[in-house]
């Protein structure tokens, strides 16, 4: 066999794409020809290095939720997807998560919860998950409550409490304006180890205060309370006792 | 679409979302764009599921992801020029990539990642389909929409470039 013929077939030999008899022919030539053998070794080493080291990515859960919900809604009229319409797609996330919850057979005590609280929790869960996507957590990243509180002026129509809980192990991460339940609301973000806590606030329909009340869904915990005419919701995947501790310190620090 | 078809789609196609996302990450080099494209591709796959003949569902989905990525690039007028190898290290990273980078650090993985990123698009896609997704020549030809001979020549040229970039020396290897 000529070296030219052999070299043309090296890739296919390496990739296992040659019929057995041709492969044997190439192997015989390689055993006898150091130049071709060296070229084959270079190819093989390149292939090994690349296939062993190239990144394999995992689709983020939020993407899977988006896709599954979009697929599940296929009965409805087709809509253009992927146009960057954030409003639409976090609704899809909500739908996807709702489906995930329903299909995983988790039953929660919906009967004794008000419908309003459930719909708030649905939207907040979607918003919380969305906020964890890269680049969505904060509009104003800051560990200073003196920076975050004024940032909300003119962006939202109320001034939420932004206590400094650094010493208690809940450092401020930042703030953002988000859109839930048909309005723009301030969100203050705290951290706890690798967990994020989103604290949402909006004007309460009821006057006065109300003690913390909690529910959990799909591994996320929600605690809501009322203070100074503002309804607060803390949402996190942090464990329930620590989230309660957080809320206790948040309310005490006012 | 009937309930049965929908269930079949979920069973046959959706398990390949990780691979779809991986391909989109390599083709678009941006995690947000990759997410949007995978969502778009999934919906398109659902719309054309009738046309899926029952072959390898993964290759079928990857073909759609590849086409959506190309459309996306054109629409977004993403700069298609190749990033020189020296500059690949200085690519703007977003949070996810920074985390990835922290994990791989100065390792072999980072070198390989940079080398792949520096390949021209038509070489990068065949390398990823072959070495990362492990597709056959026939499948790659179908995904890319070129003859098998073209796949082989692109693969050969891509590997030559990679061998140079990664400084693989056969005298040491053999």
pLDDT tens-digit map of B95-137: 555 555 555 445 888 999 999 999 999 999 999 999 999 999 9
| Residue that finishes a domain, picked among B34, B55, B80 | B80
Domain boundary among B52, B80, B108: B80
Supply the pLDDT for residue B5: 78
A68 touches chain B (CB under 8 A): yes
Residues of A in contact with B134 (CB under 8 A): 51
Domain check: are B51 and B109 in the same one? no
Distance CA B109, CA A54 (A): 6
Looking at per-residue confidence, does B82 or B74 come out higher?
B74
Q: Sorting pLDDT into bands at 50, 70 and 90, what band is B86?
A: very low
- The verdict on a CB contact (< 8 Å) between A46 and B127 is no
Where residue B26 sits, what CATH number does that domain have? Answer: 1.10.1740.10
Query: Which is more confident, A213 or B163?
Result: B163
Q: Which residues of B touch A47 (CB under 8 A)?
A: 131, 159
List where CATH 3.30.200 sits in chain A.
Answer: 131-252
Q: Give me the CATH number covering residue B118.
A: 1.10.10.10
Distance separating alpha carbons of residues B66 and B45, to the nearest angstrom: 12
B21 to A12: CB separation less than 8 angstroms, yes or no: no
Residue A50, CA distances (Å) to A3, A32, B161 in order: 26, 28, 12
254 residues of chain A, pLDDT tens digit each? 789 889 889 999 999 999 999 999 999 999 999 999 999 999 999 999 999 999 999 988 778 877 877 777 664 444 444 444 445 555 656 666 665 555 444 443 333 345 667 778 888 888 888 888 777 788 888 888 888 888 898 888 888 999 999 888 898 988 998 888 888 899 999 988 878 899 999 988 777 778 788 888 877 899 999 988 899 999 998 888 899 999 999 998 86
- Asked if A212 and A190 count as a contact pair (C-beta separation under 8 A), the reply is no
Q: Closest-CA residue in chain A for B117?
A: A54
Q: Residues B129-135: contacts with CB within 8 Å, 24+ apart?
A: B129/B23, B129/B62, B130/A15, B130/B155, B131/A47, B131/A50, B131/A51, B131/A54, B132/A51, B132/A54, B132/A56, B132/B22, B132/B23, B132/B26, B133/B19, B133/B22, B133/B23, B133/B58, B133/B62, B134/A51, B135/B59, B135/B62
> Which positions in chain A touch B104 (Cβ < 8 Å)?
55
Minimal Cα distance from B114: which residue of A? A54
Collapsing DSSP to helix, strand or coil, A152 comes out as coil
Interface test with A, best of B163, B164, B166, B171 (most A CBs within 10 A): B163
B55 & B2 share domain: yes
> B32 in a domain, yes or no?
yes
What's the domain count of chain B?
A: 2
Q: Which residues of chain A have a CB within 8 Å of the CB of B174? A: 37-38, 41
Please indicate if any CB of chain B lies within 8 Å of the CB of A103.
Answer: no
In a domain, B12, yes or no: yes
Sorted by sequence, the CB contacts under 8 Å of residue B100 that are 6+ apart come out as: A55
Per the CB < 8 A criterion, the answer to whether A104 and A68 are in contact is no
Min Cα distance A250 → chain B (Å) is 29
Q: With beta carbons under 8 A apart, name residues in chain B contacting A54.
A: 109, 112-113, 116, 128, 131-132
pLDDT tens digits, residue range B13-28?
888 999 999 999 999 9
Cβ of A45 within 8 Å of Cβ of B112? The answer is: no
% of residues, chain B, pLDDT over 70: 79
Q: Do B174 and A37 touch (CB under 8 A)?
A: yes
When CB atoms are compared, the residue of A37, A42, A70 closest to B168 is: A42
Å from A240 to nearest chain B CA? Answer: 28
| B69/B108 same-domain check | no
Q: Which of B80, B110, B133 is the last residue of a domain?
A: B80
Residue of B nearest to A92 (CA): B39
* Higher pLDDT among residues B139 and B83, named by residue: B139
Q: Name the residue range of residue B59's domain.
A: 1-80
Q: Indicate if B126 and B64 belong to the same structural domain.
A: no
Q: What's residue A63's pLDDT?
A: 83
Total number of residues shown for chain A: 254
Contact A64 B131 (CB under 8 A): no
With a CB cutoff of 8 Å and minimum separation 6, the contacts of B91 are B29, B83, B97, B117
Fold of domain A131-252:
Phosphorylase Kinase; domain 1 (3.30.200)
Same domain, B47 and B4: yes
Quick one: B106 and B160 in the same domain?
yes
- Closest chain B residue to the Cα of A81, Cα to Cα: B40
Tell me the C-alpha to C-alpha distance, in Å, between residue A32 and each of A42, A43, A162.
17, 18, 77
User: Does residue A82 belong to the interface with chain B, where contact is any CB pair within 8 Å?
Assistant: yes
A206 to chain B, closest Cα gap in Å = 40
Cβ-based contacts of B31 with chain A (< 8 Å) = 134
A102 touches chain B (CB under 8 A): no
Question: Phi and psi (nearest 5°) for B48?
Answer: -100, 20
- pTM for the predicted model, two decimal places: 0.56
Whether residues B102 and B66 share a domain: the answer is: no
How many Å lie between the alpha carbon of A68 and the closest alpha carbon of chain B?
A: 8
| Residue-level pLDDT at A114 | 56
Contact A63/B at CB under 8 A: yes
């Amino acid at each position: 066999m000529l070296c030219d013929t052999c070299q043309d077939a090296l890739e296919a030999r390496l990739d296992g794409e040659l019929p057995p008899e041709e492969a044997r022919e190439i192997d015989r030539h390689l055993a006898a020809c150091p130049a071709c053998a060296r070229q084959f070794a270079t190819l093989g080493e390149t292939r090994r290095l690349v296939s062993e080291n190239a990144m394999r990515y995992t689709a983020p859960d939020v993407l899977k939720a988006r896709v599954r919900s979009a697929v599940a809604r296929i009965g409805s009229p087709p809509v253009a997807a992927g146009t960057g319409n954030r409003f639409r797609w976090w609704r899809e996330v909500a739908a996807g998560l709702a489906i995930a919850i329903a299909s995983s057979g988790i039953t929660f005590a919906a009967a004794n919860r008000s419908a309003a609280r459930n719909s708030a929790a649905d939207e907040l869960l979607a918003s919380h998950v969305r906020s964890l996507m890269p680049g969505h957590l904060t509009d104003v990243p800051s560990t200073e409550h003196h920076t975050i509180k004024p940032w909300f002026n003119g962006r939202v129509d109320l001034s939420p409490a932004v206590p400094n809980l650094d010493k208690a192990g809940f450092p401020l991460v930042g703030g953002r304006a988000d859109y839930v339940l048909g309005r723009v609301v301030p969100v203050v973000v705290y951290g706890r180890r690798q967990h994020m806590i989103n604290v949402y606030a909006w004007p309460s329909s009821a006057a006065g205060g109300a003690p913390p009340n909690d529910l959990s869904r799909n591994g996320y915990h929600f605690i809501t309370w009322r203070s100074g005419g503002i309804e607060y919701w803390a949402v996190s995947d942090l464990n329930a006792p620590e989230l309660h501790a957080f809320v206790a310190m948040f309310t005490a620090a006012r | 679409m009937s309930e049965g078809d929908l269930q079949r789609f979920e069973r046959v196609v959706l398990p390949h979302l990780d691979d779809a996302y991986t391909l989109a990450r390599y083709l678009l080099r941006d995690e947000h764009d990759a997410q949007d494209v995978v969502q778009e591709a999934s919906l398109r796959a659902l719309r054309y599921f009738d046309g899926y003949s029952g072959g390898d569902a993964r290759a079928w989905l990857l073909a759609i992801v590849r086409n959506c990525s190309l459309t996306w690039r054109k629409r977004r007028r993403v700069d298609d020029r190749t990033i020189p190898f020296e500059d690949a290290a200085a690519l703007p990273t977003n949070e996810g990539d920074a985390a990835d980078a922290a994990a791989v650090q100065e390792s072999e993985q980072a070198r390989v990642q940079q080398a792949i990123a520096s390949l021209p698009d038509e070489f990068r896609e065949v390398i990823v389909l072959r070495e990362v997704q492990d597709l056959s020549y026939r499948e790659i030809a179908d995904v890319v929409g070129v003859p098998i001979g073209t796949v082989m020549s692109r693969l050969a040229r891509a590997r030559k470039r990679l061998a140079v970039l990664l400084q693989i020396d056969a005298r040491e290897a053999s």
